[in-house]
Amino acid sequence: MSTNPAAAFYAGSGAARTVGAALRLLDRLAPTWGTRGALRLFFTPMPWKFAMRRPLPRPWMAERWAFEGTTLAWYRRGDIADERPVVLLVHGWGGSGAQMLALGDRLAAAGFDPVLLDFPGHGRSGAWRSTLPQFARALFAAAARLGPLHGVVAHSLGALAATHAAARGLPVERLALLAPSAPPAAFLEWFAHSFGLAQGLAARMRAQIERREGVGLAEFEPAWLGARVTQPVLVLHDEGDRVAPHAASVRLAASLPAGHLVSTRGLGHRRLLDDAQVAAGVLEHLQADGRGAAPMALPQR
């Protein structure tokens, strides 16, 4: 790969270079503290959540749930009857549920009850830091509140969390994954490289994460997920995505018994969320009859 996907979040600015220099010095002097400092940065969403907050148009309304010592913000339309099938929409790292408003409106018009969620440390939710395993736990908390889910539509790191939650038994009938992130073990290596950190720091970070979260990062790899996710899964990914490599979706979709990959061009990582043809593909997937039904391919740009 010619580019480092982690650079989209952490590199390219004077502040990032200063942080990188400080982390390198700390790691040389005290590797334990260097690992802690790197993890603190790794768990902090960029950009900060205030930058991603958007006004909510009517009839969308915001509410909050208690979750792991903080709060989760979620958004629901006030003009929808309770008996509709519930579809949960979740964002990626550094994003917010409000990024999914256009998709949510499209699903509401088609007869679904869309619910948008802000993960911890994002949007209007509490806390300043979060982790991928915590994303997955937040999905279980949402399902416990909302009842069995007809579908989950998830972007980027949220898509990886949704796949892991489904593998762990999340009550959901269908998944639509938009530009899912690469497995975290790879991203840890990219993160360390983007700051010029010592070789081996990524392995120390991984060990700390697994010990703290009680989840092996191997559980986010296609081989582990593919053996456990049986729901129909639509994977939509742009071939030119510089944040989440398209190749990761190729491997993930191939591992899933009912996975179907649709590749686009010219949309990048985030424009997928507002694209009308992507929304049509997601809607077709959610409306499909039969567990193995695959949506038609989207036109290439």
Amino acid 229 reads V
Report the alpha-carbon distance of residue 161 to residue 172 in Å, rounded. Answer: 13
293 has a pLDDT exceeding 60: no
pLDDT digits (tens, 9 = 90+) for 206-225: 999 999 999 999 999 999 99
110 has a pLDDT exceeding 70: yes
Report the alpha-carbon distance of residue 136 to residue 194 in Å, rounded. Answer: 26
Would you state the pLDDT for residue 48?
A: 63
Give the residue from 293, 180, 280 showing the smallest Cα distance to 232.
293
Would you state the pLDDT for residue 290?
A: 61
2 has a pLDDT exceeding 50: no
Read off the pLDDT of each residue in 35-42 and give the average, rounded to a whole number. Answer: 90
pLDDT digits (tens, 9 = 90+) for 54-88: 788 999 999 999 999 999 999 999 999 878 999 99
Would you state the pLDDT for residue 1?
A: 44
Report the alpha-carbon distance of residue 165 to residue 140 in Å, rounded. Answer: 7
Cα radius of gyration rounded to whole Å, the chain:
19
Would you state the pLDDT for residue 261?
A: 98
Please state, rounded to an integer, the average pLDDT across all residues of the chain.
90
Would you state the pLDDT for residue 103?
A: 97
Would you state the pLDDT for residue 130?
A: 95
Would you state the pLDDT for residue 12?
A: 57
